Amino acid sequence: MSLASDPESPIVFLKLENSSGSTKEDLLLLEKMADRALKEDSLLVVSSKKSFLDKCRLPVGIKLLVSAGHSESDLVKAEEEEFLKNNGFLFFTFFYENFPNAFI
């Protein structure tokens, strides 16, 4: 996964660094990752949803959102989760270091 959005944005867009070569397969993988993160970590995660008929080819990816309802411990827990580490979701450290007042 790599950061594909502005680092200052509160909405982080992560894209696959290594595509499987199939947009459909990449979307299925990202959807599984987003579903697991939502179920296990209470994160605001959305996988790309688009039609295969779309004329504009946007990168396949995941949007991560943090709200004021998330506490520092929520972010620490998310960062420590093995699933998140293995899939490059170290965004949370970045977010907390750059926006610590969002959790006060």
Whether 87 shows a pLDDT value over 50: the answer reads no
Q: What is the pLDDT of residues 2-33, one digit of tens each?
A: 777 777 776 777 777 788 888 788 878 877 77
Residue environment code for 3-24, b if the CB has 16+ CB neighbours within 10 A, otherwise e: bebeeeeeebbbbbeeeeeebe
Residue 26 lies in domain: 2-52+60-103
Q: What is the pTM of this model?
A: 0.50
**Maximum Cα–Cα distance across the chain:** 44
Structural domain tally of the chain? Answer: 1
pLDDT, position 64: 65
Q: What is the pLDDT of residues 50-74, one digit of tens each?
A: 555 556 666 677 666 666 666 777 6
Whose CA is closest to 70, among 47, 22, 37, 30? 37
pLDDT, position 15: 78
